[in-house]
Structure 1
Amino acid sequence: MGRAHVSTDRSVAGRYRLIEVARRETNRVRWYADDPGTGRPCLVTQTGLPRDAGVAPSRVLRATESVARLCPGRIATVVDAVEESGFLWTVHAWIDGTSLDEVLAGEGPFTRARAARVALELLDVLDAAHAEAVTHGELSPGQVFLREGAPVVVTGYGLAGATSVPRLTAPSYASPEQARNERIGPAADLWALGAILYTMLEGRPPFRDRGRPEATLKGVDRLPLRTPLRAGPLTQVVQGLLRKDPRERPARQAVREALTRALREDDGTTATALPGTVRYAGREWGRRATLIGTTLAVVTVAAAVLAATRGLPGGEGDPASDAPPAAASVPAAPVPAAPGATPDDGPKTPAPSPSPTDDADGLPPGYHAYHAPEGFSVALPGGWKRLDTSPGADGAYRVVFGADGDPRTLAVTYSERVGADAVAVWRDDVEPLLERSGDGYDRIGGIRATTYQGREAADMEWSADAGGDRVRTFGRGLLLGGGRGFSLRWTTPAADWSQPASREALRTVLRTFRPAPD
């Protein structure tokens, strides 16, 4: 997920002042914050809770303290935890490092040696916790912080089993047994370790986030693993850790030996500290600490400055790396600005041409205009919000919108590596992946060139299986020139395609979508 520069004067527990969103991911937001009581900066993690969850914040504190005693200096210090407004708010002492997901978003895949080193440090933490029968259960790149010249720091202990849902955060890193809502143990953490190792090597998770936790979990449980291409001698251990049956996953000692061999066989880079973004990020986080730890007057000024920057791009990436590619509720594409089909029932019905609109002017009742910091705006149905953001290389990103209890989704994808023929993008790049996805892909009608907002575009429509249901997707790809482009993908249950509300929503999206001016 990309950093969202959103300032706020909001406080948590009447004490911790939220300054800026540091990171967003599925069901979790991390904030830079300030503790006026101590004058020190801190990190506050906001985790969404299911209705009537009944989470005891003291559980998080006890679990973290227990593991911290077993693995000193490797577990982030939790100074407070409260349940407020349907969220669990966990307050961490400042961590002088950068989350692994942020490093990957900025740098892309790691070398094998670097990935093996991080995995070994994670394994040390898991070994200490598992020796006392403590399972993490929520491990993901967002829970792992890299530090220059020091071992990783892990957050998130105490969340597993705190509610009735199988996993609270990062469902694409859940183990299959979690996806089936079965009792979990250390093997679930080994699966997560394998998924993190896969992500470090391949630059994408082994199972993509499909926008809705339940759909993502079904994919983790049922879909086959795409063979890693960059793992080299680590391929066997990665595939072993990601076996669906927890009884078939390798023992920790076998994993440790395989990772250690990868370090020994490296050409000498293993003796160096984690390079690149970690050092840069350390300076950046140090700057944040200085900013947040100043007087409240300065904090107020800083918040105003941050608010002025919220229109800057988030630097997020290409969803092409989702695996396996599928036409699910949040379909993946190798080139984001891919084209799409008509919004009407029949493939031969012309797509609605856009008419000018000025933000909320002329919107259906309940709709609201959304201005994305990445550089686009669109009107969304009432109750809809940003569900997920997938980063990629070269400034590409995908943002998924939807609402709790609403099976429809809108995915907006941007790329700076789009071909010059909008029809060819769908035909040559996207459709072959959809055909190989195993999701019952079936194109509806032909791929048609069109003009959208005075620019070259193309439309394609298809149906597919997603999480046990049949869905229908309309896609429109828009070329901006210079290799840049957007794609809009509107997905609904196939049975609801002709519903007036869905038709109206698609028309409104196409009428109001606007890239930011160059």
Structure 2
Amino acid sequence: MGTPGQLVVRRYRLVRALGQGGMGMVWEGHDTLLDRPVAVKEVLVPPRLDSRQRLQMLQRTSREARTAARLNHRTIVGVYDVAEEDGHPWIIMELVPSRSLDRVLASEGPLSVTRAATIASEVLTALSVAHTAGVVHRDVKPANILIGYDGRVVLSDFGIATSLGDPYAQRSGTVGSPGFVAPERLDGAPAAPEGDLWSLGATLFATVVGRPPHDNSMGPLASLLTQDAELARVPEELRPVLTGLLAKDPAKRMSAAQAKALLEPLRSPCPTPAPSGPRFVARTRMLAGVAAAAALAVAVGGWAILRPSDAAAPTSGGTSAAGSPAAPTSGQTVGGTASAAPAPARLRLRWYDAEAGWKAGVPRGWRLTVRDGRHTWAAPTGTAYLEVQVGDARGRTPLDLLEETERSLAASVRKYRKVRLEKAPAGTASPSPATAGTGGGRQAADWESTWTGPGYHSWAVKGVPYHELRRVIVTGGRASVIDWVTTGPEWERLRPTLTAILKYYHPPAART
């Protein structure tokens, strides 16, 4: 077992032990090469194992690290490196100053509905990212959910996670922790996303009741017979989502998107602070260096650190300027009313009025992050994003700006393919009253592409295909950048929403 001060593979110094679990010891460490704090997981090898079994364990550890490293999202603990020293495997991870949810419950008791819904919603985001990448966690439970001191919620320990279709992992006898394992997994069914959702439901139940949704002495399957009585213990607001997540039949279990829709209205309105950890700082410095050539190129490139789980956007108030469409109110959609039948896959929009003078229709229920002037809305499922930023055009045309951006960014993603890069009809950008009538003073261009993650967006998942449209609108010397990104399968389904967003965007007034 490691000791404080020990230097692992001549690079990672152990500082102090943070805790021990069934898979090993976790240390606070320091990366002496990059001069940053890290978490170091020492995988403990049982002494009874022979050489063949030790080799198998090392292979499993490497597979765990590869699986977790595929997932790059603020709700998932990042994996930096995997190393071996003296026959012991070590996994180097992001250090998240936090307490695990089980420790929070042990010290504070059951949590409020608002706090529990916030935590569960964040974990749902993490699971959506993992499932989109074809990874199943298999051990969702309070001990593997970290509550950061800055409010961040993180899903950790993909120690028994498996990639869908991995035959070795599917044969593994490890199914998870008692009390939080889906009934079909106990019956020998292979790991699947539906099992993670059941485990999340059991975790949410424990968060507000203080224990899993059954008495362990009865056994999980027997206790399912008393599910109605168990659900009577939880607050009424959470019963619909728990009924759906804890459905015994995985085919009838609530989906992640359905659960997210029920949890979002219940979650805390308090913002979750953006992380300031090593990955964030390193990436920010790297992107800033690329963008140094021109401030607007940063805007066009969309090099923001996108945080889908940050605080919800404030609802803009006030009245619209004369001649502009009235701001959508509750029950209205941009360009229509509640009584009108919505177009297929057309998400409901609401107005957002920015202090910088622009105005946009944005999807209801998407969460807003504002950083360095970039406004980013993220779908609850983590499969679609909208970003808007305004900057100085510096005399360049929209096409010039996009061509410059393509040269900078195309090489930073995998399997890049340019669909089109061309001028767009200026009339497609609806003018605000302040810019109406400028005629030839308004120009627009589009850059549409497909690529595979990871890439210049921090939320992009390795191996997942994305489709992106970036529109630049120049009015009165100011450039508006509208960036729309979805996973490949979502592109056509959400196209009507993109069309509406572009149609109803109002650029800021020209500078005088």
TM-score category, normalised to shorter length: 0.3 to 0.5
1 or 2 for the larger relative contact order (CA 8 Å, sep ≥6)?
1
The normalised TM-score by structure 2 is 0.43
Q: Which of the two has higher C-alpha Rg?
A: 2
Give the TM-score normalised by the residue count of structure 1.
0.43
